[in-house]
Structure 1
């Protein structure tokens, strides 16, 4: 058992393990601490997201769903190997699981079959969601698998844990199948091998490169009844900039009230736009949003 590391310690540990980290919005204060305790911590839990597309996935794990509010993890590991920090503290990722599994994790011994759901996993585990459809066919790129290994090793290294403290959601909660598509025992072997070696040379903090600014499509592309790629592009950029809290299932091509509310939040945050924060994009809003 251990007290959770601080947000700054987590960030430093991930960098020291050689990972590229993207800090999403107010991740340091984004948590579910009002709903229960966070800690003592005992291990790391790995999940898959059943989603496609990094920007949309970030939005989903950050804000969650109507019946499962976000954050849904501490970090989201994208297919390109970047670790997107989503929340810190108690997060909605583990749910109720088997107390026998928790005791095996604490003792760092072989896991029993999970056949009960009687213990609060959100209290005891760091959680990493991994961008994957979870159908057993969607590939796991080498960069992503290496990032999973490094992220888990970073936390284990900080707490003095072995890889036996790293489990999959399917090993914790009956009925769960994630993560599907790679072997957890092989992953734990790789983590233990990494823990026996010196970490990679630290990389400096990296911010995602903004996409090239797209041309403004005109005011008529946005509003009730409109559906097009520019609306999806707008929503994805709002999520990247940390203004996606009104999305429940992520941006789409169809204009909705969530798009208007998120854009109005963005406009109010910028002194050049705050005087006309109506949630409808004009050329200046578009230019600043994609700058």
Structure 2
């Protein structure tokens, strides 16, 4: 069982690894400890931000947004390799994840497929958001990749962990894809080499494909027609989050609006997707109106891993 480092030990470990660290405001005392426990810590979780611009990224990760207060991680790893510390303690970065994955991290084994979301990851993981659009096209500069390697090694070194204690958000939580574009087996090997592990890190066995989320078209349409007006309590439906995540990955919806509420912003993003597809998907030739249609929703699901049922 690993007790979290003190904030002073944390920043010292990062600097000792040769990292350039930027302290953002009262990061040592900026946390969500009032909402739940912090520790025991089990590993390091790496994300991408789906944002552009270091200053904007750091602000979002420190302050959070409506529905998800900051800090959204402990540190932001920028394109230039600098690590901006935005909080310390419990942070809103990991959410609920798979207990089998947590057991694998503790045992320092390759994580299995993530198909459950029942364990509080905010309690157990140091979290780092990496500045990247997450579209598979935005490059990962060498300085940034080296910083990720050093961050993981620094924390591993203090706790006596191996490279297996560092995982991706996609390993932890069903439906996540971040950090998209990083060769993770190569990264783990680099971390292991930096730690001086004698044993080569075995290749990661690809997990079985997770079960695809199912989106009920009729319920989604009902949410789309009622939520934008926001009269009374907005309609809640889990399929909204699935669709919003896909729209975020398409660059049509800001991550801060991926909140399960099919409001005007989500409706506008869906309209943009419909226009991108050349039709609304409900009736041929009908203008894109942001109300989900089977044709364009199925096309979005095929691209982002969810199934549509009428």
TM-score range, shorter chain: 0.5 to 0.7
> In the alignment, does 2:182 pair up with 1:182?
yes
What is the CA distance between 1:15 and its match in structure 2?
Answer: 0.4
> In the alignment, does 2:3 pair up with 1:6?
no
With a CA cutoff of 8 Å and minimum separation of 6, indicate the structure with the bigger relative contact order. Answer: 1
> In the alignment, does 2:169 pair up with 1:156?
no
Deviation digits for residues 112-154 of structure 1, max 9, x if unmatched? 1000000000000000000000000000000000000000100
What is the CA distance between 1:41 and its match in structure 2?
Answer: 0.2
SS at match of 2:179: coil
Instruction: Name the residue aligned to 1:41.
Output: 41
> In the alignment, does 2:37 pair up with 1:71?
no
Q: Distance in 1 between matches of 2:17 and 2:194?
A: 10
What is the CA distance between 1:110 and its match in structure 2?
Answer: 1.6
Q: Distance in 1 between matches of 2:53 and 2:110?
A: 35
SS at match of 1:94: coil
Runs of 4 or more consecutive aligned structure 1 residues displaced over 3 Å after TM superposition: none
TM-score by length of 2: 0.63
What is the CA distance between 1:105 and its match in structure 2?
Answer: 0.2
- 1:203-218 to structure 2, matched below 5 A, reads none
Instruction: Name the residue aligned to 1:203.
Output: none
Q: Distance in 1 between matches of 2:139 and 2:183?
A: 13
Q: Distance in 2 between matches of 1:191 and 1:68?
A: 31
SS at match of 1:104: helix
TM-score by length of 1: 0.67
What is the CA distance between 1:168 and its match in structure 2?
Answer: 0.2
RMSD, aligned CA: 1.2
Deviation digits for residues 17-52 of structure 1, max 9, x if unmatched? 000000000000000000000000000000000000
> In the alignment, does 2:139 pair up with 1:139?
yes
Q: Distance in 1 between matches of 2:109 and 2:152?
A: 17
Instruction: Name the residue aligned to 2:116.
Output: 116
Instruction: Name the residue aligned to 1:57.
Output: 57
- Stretches of structure 1 that go unaligned for 5 or more consecutive residues are 198-247, 250-291
- Stretches of structure 2 that go unaligned for 5 or more consecutive residues are 198-254, 257-310
> In the alignment, does 2:4 pair up with 1:24?
no
